[in-house]
Amino acid sequence: MARFAAFKFALTSLLFAVALAGPAPVQAKGPQERPVDGSPATIRVPELPRQGRETYELIRQGGPFPYDKDGSVFGNRERQLPAARRGYWREYTVATPGSRDRGARRIVCGGPARMPDTCYYTADHYSSFRKIVE
């Protein structure tokens, strides 16, 4: 009985200490995070979802695009992408299976329409971006 009481006391003390310390900091390991050096994360074309690869190919062909807003100017108001003149960035919808609207996935490209200088993929409606690399 004394052994059980000692075990119960030790366990209670441990739980109390953990509760006082608070949760341990957790470092995100998701695909949307930026590397430690602050440069944007990257994604290779084959790693894009199938719909993303299709949209990327349509961008390189110059369309036609399935959504009216595809090719519209992206304002970069959140300043997640490198600064550029107004009209440099354009956004394109990446279809989301099961979504009733355009969904949250986009590709945003900068530069000439058919051969953009650079493109970024976002799966969370502009909260984070990954630079698309060949």
> Could you list the active site residues?
91, 125
Rg (CA), the chain: 23
Name the burial class of residue 80, with classes exposed (0-12), middle (13-18) and buried (19+) by CB atoms within 10 angstroms of its CB.
Answer: middle
What is the Cα–Cα distance from 121 to 32, expressed in whole angstroms? Answer: 10
By the 8 A CB rule, do 6 and 14 touch?
Answer: no
Q: Which residues contact 130 (CB under 8 A, 6 or more apart)?
A: 31, 32, 40, 41, 42, 43, 120, 121, 122
